[in-house]
């Protein structure tokens, strides 16, 4: 899921040592300084017209001939033993072609705990572990028949006590959710199972000594509630398994290659026989990196011997996919009067829903990543509760940890009488800092984003009555991962790119821009498409802010390999050594005193003659894109909080973030704005509400209200470019960090507006009102 | 046991048979092959299925197909005139007002309905006019700017 890559850890991938190396994982870092022609411009996206005319095909917009409708029966109970499932009546209903339970999904995971958890989450086995857990599924000729069939499935449950709160689940005597989970990372290894699945610890130095050196120590507890990614497109998958075992899937996913691999493993199939195509994706934000109904569609299709399509309802999306952890945290930070932080400590307790996770651990790694600290320690406790399996959500766990830490940093700055921006600048991490989670930083952007915030007009703008301003910082690791790109020159002299990372926000445009830049062609000559799993090598998911970072890197290397072929063809045509041919401005040029007056051979001319000079012209690159380059941001938020209702409105918002190099600035701004808006929703309103019965009370957009257009102001952005030395153009991923600071920035803003320290997100009107009233007492 | 309905969709006379309880969204998507309207929630909360019905913006998931007799339905598929995009469509592309794009057809319908009533809306009027449509990718900034630009162009300003 998350692999750490450091700025100062360039790829060691070996290139063949020939005079004309196949370009793979090496590059000339001087390129960071080059003058770009295409990169940095704002061309129109290749999928734009399809998306504004309704032509674009998303998950639910595809149908196989003769397909059935698949529906899933879900547990209404938070925790229950499944005593018996009788499907016989449903099977006899005319029009029902298949009914499956966990008996149809035998365990092929070979002892892989993570894969078994995915299998058990997709279909409950002995117990239903949360409200919404799948227990059976049907495929029928139409939706009405499928709905009738669900009602005819008789499930006998034995209700068990449940727990949905992270702190409650840790208490002795809490209902035990899995009898085979023993706390990892604790010595000696526990002999009794519990809901505490993992302990981890990060940091360095001596925090006890550091706190002794402090003049002021702030110690406080914080809570954040569970949220959903809230993508507008519900999950949809169509699967078709043929009698010979060959299969096809069409689905909305952030990673069709990974889904292919995982589905094949869970169904006991060979990956090569399962061809998956990713549809246009209607948002994911991490929520479409996890399997839910996809294996069920395959299993139903295999049993029914017909294609099957499953499209989730919005209620299903909320009840059984997606959500983040809710969390409970204790933070303690100490500083000298001069503003030097002497020690920092945090304990973070996060739940992973009904399955083991490492969400608290991610929080422990990210919590203090913005700062240069001598003494720092974080302890994480990952916990299991009767809620849906936690999924990644944009910089998973980092916004939660940042809420607690940045709130404490703000309180500490105020306690020693320092401006919160100056306090952060004094303690900010820089190149050479040993990070709180281990690695030593290369060139990073936290200092520059803080300096930009200090100088931003927003910081100096006057505030009105009941208004408050907050600022906060955020960090995300960023990820590189396995990536593969093909560049094909068409016979008419244009260029087709096959990328394997799903395009979630405009990456096809950005990848095409990188290829055009390398070739010296206009952007319009290059078209990038997302290839299916049968036509390109494995690609990791579009997650970890890796899509544009890794695919542009692979695309640049693939293009350089294509340029090598183009130069060879020109050399052959001219009958001169290839070493005397150089590529610039979209054409081969003969160089040197003997060839200087030959007219250049354009890509179009070489492509037209390709059949006579050696065949089609193409370039490929297969890489593990190491060195993603860590990402930092600073946000500034103004709110107005109504003291009578507790309702907070965002009046002004500014995002400042390091992009390394912005390939397409509009899409970088879009990531900044979108992440900020999601963070604003989380900070002010969004929250899963569970009843005493362990059932989700607000599984819909009416009651789980994400920000609408009238809730938000314009979101100003400032892109900083501190080049990532590990990418040929200096790119860093930009997708995730923008959701990290808003919870804290708004928490501090509401604190300043109300005069009451906010420690519980979301700061919904009742919660803020309660805090104001408790202070008044 | 279906209901025979004669209606107009994007200016074309259309005849279909649907079930009594079938919503317009399902008719458009499953019977007429017009999949530009999306089902984001099925409860009228997200606006992804927005269409214009007799000049009025509606969630097609909340209207029955059987009610369409003699009505005029406008969907995203009818917004462009041949090869020429509507100024709103062009503005959404030019201003990068979409990321995943799944909410875009609904936003374009809602913005079109707004500008027909109010050709020169303030930012606040745009924000409230589009408040029935959810977008999770953009934070709405570039959407509002695109609508402002299209409105200006359509006014010939």
User: pLDDT per residue over A388-409, tens digit each?
Assistant: 999 999 999 999 999 999 999 9
Confidence label for A596 from pLDDT (cuts 50, 70 and 90): confident
Task: Give contacts of B38 with chain A, Cβ < 8 Å.
Answer: 58, 60, 232-233, 282
Cβ-proximal residues to A419 (8 Å cutoff; 6+ apart), any chain = A413
**How far is the alpha carbon of A403 from chain B, nearest alpha carbon, in Å?**
20
From B104's Cα to the closest Cα of chain A, the distance in A is 6
Section A60-78 average pLDDT: 98
Closest-CA distance, A257 to chain B, in angstroms, reads 20
Partners of A235 on chain B (C-beta within 8 Å) are none
pLDDT of residue A33 exceeding 90, the answer is: no
pLDDT band at A17 (very low <50, low <70, confident <90, very high): very low
- Give the pLDDT of residue B103: 98
The per-residue pLDDT for B1 is 65
The residue with tokens 């209607």 is A282
Chain A, window 110-169: residues with a beta carbon less than 8 angstroms from a chain B beta carbon: none
Rounded to an integer, what distance in angstroms lies between the CA atom of residue A99 and that of residue A87? 7
Cα(B88)–Cα(B150) distance, integer angstroms: 5
User: Please, which residues 684-703 of chain A have a Cβ atom closer than 8 Å to chain B?
Assistant: 700-702
> What average pLDDT does the structure give for chain B?
97
| Neighbouring residues of B74: CB distance < 8 A, sequence distance ≥ 6 | B9, B10, B51, B52, B53, B109
- Residues B70, B98 within the same domain: no
- Say whether pLDDT at A28 is over 50: no
Nearest beta carbon to residue B94 from set A44, A233, A714: A44
**With an 8 Å Cβ cutoff, are B100 and A231 in contact?**
yes
- What percentage of chain A reaches a pLDDT higher than 90? 94
* Count of domains forming chain B: 2
Show the domain range for B59.
3-78
Contact call for residues A415 and A218 (beta carbons, < 8 A): yes
CA distance A775 to chain B (A): 34
pLDDT tens digits, one per residue of A440-478: 999 999 999 999 999 999 999 999 999 999 999 999 999
| Residue B54 and residue B33 in one domain | yes
Nearest by CB to A673, from B39, B46, B138: name it.
Answer: B138
Top residue of B102, B122, B123, B129 to mutate, by most chain A CBs within 10 Å, is B102
Residue in A closest to B99 by C-alpha:
A505
Rounded Cα distance between A291 and A109, Å, is 15
| Residue A112 scores a pLDDT above 70 | yes
Q: What is the domain-level CATH number for residue B50?
A: 3.10.20.30
Whether residues B72 and B93 share a domain: the answer is no
Flag whether the ipTM exceeds 0.90. Answer: yes
CB-CB under 8 Å, B136 with A232: yes
Report yes or no: A71 and A147 within 8 Å, Cβ to Cβ: yes
- Cβ–Cβ gap A714/B144 under 8 Å: yes
Burial A230-265 (b: 16+ CB within 10 A, else e): bbbbbbbbbbbbeeeeebbbbbbbbbbbbbbbbbbb
Specify whether B8 is located in the same domain as B73. Answer: yes
pLDDT score recorded for residue A183: 98
In this prediction, residues A563-571 reach a mean pLDDT of: 98
Domain ends where: B49, B78, B107? Answer: B78
Is the pLDDT assigned to residue A4 strictly greater than 50?
A: no
Q: What is the CATH number of the domain that holds B147?
A: 1.10.150.120
Whether residue B118 is found in the same domain as residue B58: no
* pLDDT tier, A34 (very low <50, low <70, confident <90, very high otherwise): confident
Burial (CB count within 10 angstroms: exposed 0-12, middle 13-18, buried 19+), residue A411: buried
Query: Stretch A553-573: mean pLDDT, rounded?
Result: 98
Residue with the larger pLDDT of the pair A540 and A596 = A540
* pLDDT class of A367 with cuts at 50, 70, 90: very high
Q: What is the mean pLDDT of residues B67-75?
A: 97
pLDDT at residue A159, rounded to an integer: 98
**SS3 state of residue A86:** strand
Instruction: Determine the pLDDT at residue A299.
Output: 98
Do B54 and B101 lie in a common domain?
A: no
Residue pair A75/A130 in contact by the 8 Å Cβ criterion: yes
| Overall average pLDDT of the A189-207 stretch | 97
A229: nearest CA in chain B? B136
Q: Do B99 and B68 reside in the same domain of the chain?
A: no
Q: Which residue of A280, A708, A712 is in closest CB contact with B134?
A: A708
H helices, E strands: number in chain A: 21, 27
Tell me which of B35, B60, B78 is where a domain ends: B78
Domains and CATH numbers, chain A: 29-38+481-624 (3.30.365.10), 59-160+234-281+288-320 (3.90.1170.50), 327-479+627-776 (3.30.365.10)
Distance from CA of B156 to the nearest CA of A (A): 22
Measure the CA–CA gap between A20 and A28, rounded to whole angstroms. 15
**Interface touch A280/B102, C-beta < 8 Å:** yes
Query: Do A177 and A384 form a contact (C-beta atoms < 8 A)?
Result: yes
Q: Are residues B10 and B71 in the same domain?
A: yes
- Residues in chain B closer than 8 A to A55 (CB atoms): 36
Are B10 and B66 found together in one domain? yes
Residues 88-147 of B with CB under 8 A from A: 89-90, 92-96, 98-105, 108, 123-124, 126-128, 130-145
3-state SS track over A144-202: HHHHHHHHHCEEEEEECCCCCCHHHHHCCCCCCCCCCCCCECCCCCCCCCCCEEEEEEE
Return all residues near A355 (Cβ < 8 A) that are at least 6 apart: A117, A120, A121, A129, A384, A389, A390
HSE, CB side, 13 Å, CA atoms: give it for residue A504: 36
Of the residues B58, B78, B98, the one at which a domain ends: B78
Apex A325 CA angle, A322 and A328, nearest 5:
165
Measured in angstroms, the CA of B149 and the nearest CA of chain A are apart by 15
Contact B142 A673 (CB under 8 A): yes
Q: Give the pLDDT score at A31.
A: 44
Confidence of residue A27 (pLDDT cuts 50, 70, 90): very low
Judged by CB atoms closer than 8 Å, whether chains meet at A313 and B42 is answered as yes
Pick from B96, B103, B149 the residue to mutate for testing the A interface (most A CBs within 10 Å). B96
CB contact under 8 A, B99 and A715: no
Answer with the residue of higher pLDDT: A775 or A449. Answer: A449
pLDDT per residue as tens digits for the range A631-650 = 999 999 999 999 999 999 99
CA nearest A504: which of A673, A661, A284?
A284
Q: Per the structure block, which two tokens stand in for A200?
A: 């981890």
Render pLDDT for A294-305 as a digit per residue (tens, 0 to 9): 999 999 999 999
How would you classify residue A105: left for phi > 0, otherwise alpha for psi between -120 and 50, otherwise beta? beta
Is the domain of B50 the same as that of B112?
no
Which candidate, A496, A516, A517, A502, places its Cα nearest to that of A548? A502
* Predicted local confidence at residue A7, as pLDDT: 35
Nearest CA in chain A to B41: A314
Query: Distance, in angstroms, between A280 CA and closest chain B CA?
Result: 8
By three-state DSSP, how is residue A350 classified? strand
Which residues in chain A are closer than 8 Å to B98, comparing Cβ atoms? 48, 51-52
Q: Cβ distance A177 to A129 under 8 Å?
A: yes
CA distance linking residue A469 with residue A325, whole number of Å: 27
B51 and B110 co-located in one domain: no
Asked whether the beta carbons of B60 and B115 are under 8 A apart, the reply is no
- Calculate how close chain A gets to B132, using CA atoms only, in Å: 7
If asked whether residues B54 and B95 sit together in one domain, one would say no
- Taking all residues of chain A, what is their mean pLDDT, rounded to a whole number? 95
The pLDDT value recorded for residue A595 is: 75
Q: Do A700 and B75 touch (CB under 8 A)?
A: no
Cβ pair B131:A708 closer than 8 A: yes
Q: Are the CB atoms for A608 and A491 separated by under 8 Å?
A: yes
Residues 6+ apart with CB under 8 A from A218: A331, A332, A333, A334, A408, A411, A412, A415
């Amino acid at each position: 899921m998350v692999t750490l890559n450091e700025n100062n850890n360039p790829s060691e991938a070996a290139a063949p040592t020939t005079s004309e190396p196949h370009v793979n994982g090496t590059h000339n870092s001087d390129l960071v300084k080059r003058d770009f022609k295409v990169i940095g411009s704002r061309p129109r996206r290749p999928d734009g017209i399809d998306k504004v005319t309704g032509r674009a095909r998303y998950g639910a917009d595809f149908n196989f001939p003769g397909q059935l409708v698949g529906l899933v029966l879900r547990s209404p109970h938070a925790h229950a033993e499944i005593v018996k499932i009788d499907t016989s009546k449903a099977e006899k209903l005319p029009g029902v072609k298949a009914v499956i339970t966990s008996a149809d999904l035998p365990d092929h995971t070979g002892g892989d705990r993570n894969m078994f958890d995915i299998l058990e989450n997709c279909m409950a086995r002995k117990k239903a572990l949360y409200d919404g857990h799948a227990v059976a599924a049907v495929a029928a000729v139409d939706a009405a028949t499928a709905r009738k069939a669900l009602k005819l499935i008789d499930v006998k449950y034995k209700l068990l006590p449940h727990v949905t709160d992270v702190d409650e689940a840790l208490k002795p005597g809490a209902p035990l959710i899995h009898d085979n989970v023993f706390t990892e990372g604790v010595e000696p290894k526990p002999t009794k199972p519990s809901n505490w699945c993992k302990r981890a610890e990060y940091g360095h130095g001596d925090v006890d000594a550091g706190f002794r050196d402090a003049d002021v120590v702030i110690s406080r507890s914080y809570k954040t509630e569970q949220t959903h990614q809230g993508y507008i497109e519900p999950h949809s998958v169509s699967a078709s398994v043929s009698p010979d075992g060959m299969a096809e899937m069409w689905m909305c996913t952030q990673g069709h290659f990974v889904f292919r691999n995982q589905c094949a493993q869970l169904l006991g199939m060979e990956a090569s026989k399962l061809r998956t195509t990713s549809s246009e994706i209607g948002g994911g934000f991490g929520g479409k990196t996890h399997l839910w109904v996809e294996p069920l569609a395959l299993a139903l299709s295999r049993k029914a011997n017909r294609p099957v399509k499953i499209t989730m309802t919005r209620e299903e999306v909320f009840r059984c996919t997606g959500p983040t952890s809710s969390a409970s945290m204790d933070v303690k930070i100490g500083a000298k009067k001069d503003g030097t932080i002497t020690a920092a400590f945090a304990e973070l307790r996060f739940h992973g829903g009904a399955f083991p996770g490492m969400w608290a651990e991610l929080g422990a790694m990210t919590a203090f990543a913005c700062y240069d600290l001598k003494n720092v320690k974080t302890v994480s406790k990952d916990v299991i509760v009767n809620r849906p399996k936690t999924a990644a959500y944009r910089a998973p766990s980092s916004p939660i940890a940042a809420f607690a830490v940045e709130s404490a940093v703000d309180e500490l700055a105020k306690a020693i009488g320092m401006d919160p921006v100056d306090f952060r600048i004094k303690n900010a991490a820089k190149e050479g800092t040993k990070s709180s989670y281990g690695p030593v930083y290369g060139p990073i952007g936290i200092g520059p984003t803080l300096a930009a915030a200090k100088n931003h007009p927003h910081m100096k703008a006057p505030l009105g009555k009941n208004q408050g301003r907050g600022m906060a910082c955020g960090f995300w690791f960023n990820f590189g991962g396995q990536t593969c790109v093909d560049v094909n020159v068409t016979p008419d002299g244009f260029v087709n790119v096959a990328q394997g990372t799903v395009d979630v926000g405009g990456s096809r445009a950005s990848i095409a821009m990188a290829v055009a830049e390398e070739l010296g062609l206009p952007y319009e000559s290059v078209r990038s498409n997302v290839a299916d799993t049968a036509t390109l090598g494995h690609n990791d998911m579009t997650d970890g802010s890796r899509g544009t970072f890794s695919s542009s890197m692979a695309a640049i290397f693939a293009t350089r390999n294509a340029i090598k072929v183009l130069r060879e063809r020109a050399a052959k045509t001219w009958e001169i050594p290839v070493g005397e041919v150089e590529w610039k401005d979209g054409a081969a040029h003969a160089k040197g005193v003997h060839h200087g007056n030959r007219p250049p051979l354009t890509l179009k001319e070489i492509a037209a003659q390709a059949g006579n000079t050696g065949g089609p012209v193409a370039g490929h690159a297969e890489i593990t894109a190491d060195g993603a380059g860590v990402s930092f941001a600073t946000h500034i938020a103004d709110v107005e909080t109504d003291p009578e209702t507790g309702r907070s409105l965002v009046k002004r918002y500014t995002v400042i973030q390091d992009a390394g190099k912005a390939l397409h600035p509009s899409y970088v701004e879009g990531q900044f704005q979108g992440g900020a808006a999601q963070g604003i929703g989380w900070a002010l309103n969004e929250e899963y509400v569970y009843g005493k019965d362990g059932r989700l009370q607000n599984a819909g957009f009416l009651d789980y209200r994400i920000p609408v257009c009238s809730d938000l102001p314009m979101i100003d952005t400032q892109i900083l470019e501190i080049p990532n030395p590990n990418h040929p153009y200096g790119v860093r991923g930009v997708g995730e960090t923008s959701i990290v600071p808003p919870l804290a920035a708004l928490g501090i803003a509401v604190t300043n507006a109300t005069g009451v320290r906010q420690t519980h997100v979301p700061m919904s009107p009742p919660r803020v009102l309660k805090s104001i009233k408790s202070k008044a007492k | 046991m279906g209901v025979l309905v004669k209606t107009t969709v994007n200016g074309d006379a259309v005849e279909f048979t649907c079930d009594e309880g079938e919503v317009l969204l399902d008719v458009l998507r499953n019977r007429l092959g017009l999949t530009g309207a999306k089902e984001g929630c099925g409860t009228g909360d997200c606006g992804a299925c927005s269409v214009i019905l007799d000049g009025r913006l509606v969630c097609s998931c909340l209207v029955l197909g059987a009610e369409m007799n003699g009505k005029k339905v406008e969907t995203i598929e009818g917004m462009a005139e041949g090869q020429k995009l509507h100024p709103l469509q062009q503005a959404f592309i030019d201003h990068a007002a979409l990321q995943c794009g799944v909410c875009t057809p609904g936003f374009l319908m809602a913005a079109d309905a707004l500008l027909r009533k109010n050709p020169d809306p303030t930012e606040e009027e745009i924000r409230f006019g589009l408040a029935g449509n959810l977008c999770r990718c953009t934070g709405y900034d570039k959407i509002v700017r695109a609508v402002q630009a299209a409105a200006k162009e359509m006014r010939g300003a």
